[in-house]
Structure 1
Amino acid sequence: MHHLYTQGMNIDLRHLRCFLTVAEEGGFTAAGRRLHLTQPTLTRNIRALEQSLGVKLFERSTRRTELTEKGKALQESLAPLLRQLDSTLRDLQQGEKLRIGFSWGLPEGLSRLAARFGEETGVGVEFIRCDTPQAGLDTGEADLGLLRSASVPKGLRGLRLYEEERIAAVPASWRLAERTELDWAELTDFPLIINTVSGTTFPDMWPAGRRPTVGAECRNFDEWLEQVAVGLGVGTAPVSAARRYTHPAVRLVPLTGAPAVPAYLAHPSHGAHPQAARFADQAWRAADELQA
């Protein structure tokens, strides 16, 4: 058992990890699966933490689990602290490493930069695929994350490396696949495939009243590609996808009038890996050679 003693309170580190997982997953069932714990065991851990702190952390009902204001405050402070603790313990056991998370499509130049960085600093760089909204930063699996989003999420700091144009992905069996070019506005006439976890395209990017319907939802790039392939709808992705991913049942068509896709390299605002900001700065300075 790992305990923290502070102002007379005996806090079990296991209870803190359970709390954070429930907060991140939005419920006890999903958190239990992630932690490989039964729901009664998880409930006891949360109740023990609430009793130790003397505060209520969750509002529970039969339909949902929501953080209280005290719970939200604890999550915001605790997440970076546990990330830093985990990173420190790993470094002690394995030697210093910098983990870079990505959901799909790493820029080709990033591996060259990582090799140079390792030679200069002695810090090994690892690339880890993480199908999460923040490319592993939100789960503690990564120290840096390659994010493709309109902005950097709260609690993170990021440097904007570059922007990419978009291409359209359409089923090869559709007549649409015969086109040499499509316009962003035309896509509203077709069902849209949405990657809800790490995607870059959502219906609200079009004007109200002219938004596409949702043909299907998925949770990673591979599923997204397969949903297009079977004809459930169309999608869009950065142009680098055309160079790195192919599918015999999907045609990638040049797209005009579409908003660009920014790419950021981000790390936690607090409790970040000591080398995270340095690597991000080097990547920003070398942005021209990083574009995939």
Structure 2
Amino acid sequence: MAHHLCSGRMDVDLRHLRGFLAVAEEGGFTAAGRRLHVAQPTLTRNIRALEETLGVRLFDRTTRRTELTAKGAELHRALVPLLRQLDAVLDEMCEGERLRLGFSWGLPDGLARLAARFDGETGVSVEFVRCDSPAARLETGDVDLALLRGTRLPRGLRSAFLYDDSRVAAVPAFWPLAARRELSWAELADWPLVVNTRSGVTTPDMWPPGERPVVGAECGNYDEWLEKVALGLGVGTAPAATARRYSHPEVRFVPLSDGPAVSTHLAYPSHGAHPRAALLANVAAREGVALRDGSERG
């Protein structure tokens, strides 16, 4: 939404005033455009619109220089303290603001670092909220964004794709499978499957009809899932990055040679989302696999 300063019949766009200050302080349109990350033609149009609205010339322009007119210098002197005060008020509005990010299990290794950087750059902190539900409580409004996995996300959400992760098999440590260096997706179907019905990434219908595993046990969260595998109630699969973070002395994670990748997204409501939700999701998407691996983006 555009900011406007209104005085009687005048309707002046705030971005035009900021453009005017940049040109005045940088001494030209090219440098001012770089400072504002605005194309020079756009900045030129904005200054022309401001001059037409005020009915005065603000700059004397030649092919070699751009200088303030007397009216321009007067406006510059008045605007500097006004916009400084406005910026201070707007900054204060952001203080204490937070984004609640829901997750069911396995936060990406680099997400905490990104959240700290986001706080430093925007003044909006990120609070991680553990939630065992299919949409990590986005559907109830308890969180502003959610880390979701899989290709079929709930309706009514927008999402930013972060990365694909390879999949590993989780098998009881005392089963013969635990001695294997690698397993195939097809042979997992010969064993009972432990299914996390709320936030898991593996269900029997991921195998072809007639070749699907039986369900050995069901549960509602990752910790229960891991314990049921440890008890020998069946096998399961998980993203490789998650397996690096979570271990269990009675569970062995074995690489899968051909398992389907696990897609990871940051999702937020299509309507009524927090104003900063899309920004955080897009920043995270640009980091991509660096989030998964906990590495700096190169």
TM > 0.5:
yes
Q: Offset of 1:169 from its aligned partner?
A: 0.3
Deviations 1:121-164 (A, max 9, x none): 11111011111101121222210000001133210000111000
In the other structure, the counterpart of 1:256 is 257
In the other structure, the counterpart of 1:214 is 215
Identity %: 63
Secondary structure of the corresponding residue to residue 182 of structure 1: coil
Verify the 8 A CA contact 1:102 1:147 in the aligned structure 2: yes
In the other structure, the counterpart of 1:170 is 171
In the other structure, the counterpart of 2:180 is 179
Provide the rounded CA distance (Å) in 2 between the counterparts of 1:188 and 1:288.
Answer: 29
| Structure 1 residue 106 corresponds to structure 2 residue 112 | no
Q: Offset of 1:257 from its aligned partner?
A: 1.3
In the other structure, the counterpart of 1:97 is 98
Secondary structure of the corresponding residue to residue 264 of structure 1: strand
Deviations 1:26-45 (A, max 9, x none): xxxxxxxxxxxxxxxxxxxx
Provide the rounded CA distance (Å) in 1 between the counterparts of 2:189 and 2:113.
Answer: 40
Secondary structure of the corresponding residue to residue 205 of structure 2: helix
Provide the rounded CA distance (Å) in 2 between the counterparts of 1:184 and 1:98.
Answer: 38
In the other structure, the counterpart of 2:287 is 286
TM-score by length of 2: 0.66
User: How large is the RMSD of aligned CA atoms in angstroms?
Assistant: 1.3
Query: Which shows bigger deviation, 146-155 or 243-252?
Result: 146-155
The runs of at least 4 aligned residues of structure 1 exceeding 6 Å deviation read: none
* 2:133 aligned partner, one-letter code: T
Stretches of structure 1 that go unaligned for 5 or more consecutive residues are 1-91
Q: Offset of 1:233 from its aligned partner?
A: 0.3
Q: Offset of 1:190 from its aligned partner?
A: 0.3
State how 1:1-292 maps to structure 2 within 5 Å.
Answer: 95-292=96-293
Deviations 1:185-234 (A, max 9, x none): 00110000000000000000000000000000000000000000000000
Q: Offset of 1:288 from its aligned partner?
A: 3.1
Instruction: Kindly name which structure, 1 or 2, has the bigger radius of gyration based on alpha carbons.
Output: 2
In the other structure, the counterpart of 1:80 is none
Secondary structure of the corresponding residue to residue 253 of structure 1: strand
Provide the rounded CA distance (Å) in 1 between the counterparts of 2:176 and 2:289.
Answer: 37
Number of aligned residue pairs: give it: 200
Deviations 1:99-128 (A, max 9, x none): 111100101111111111111111111011
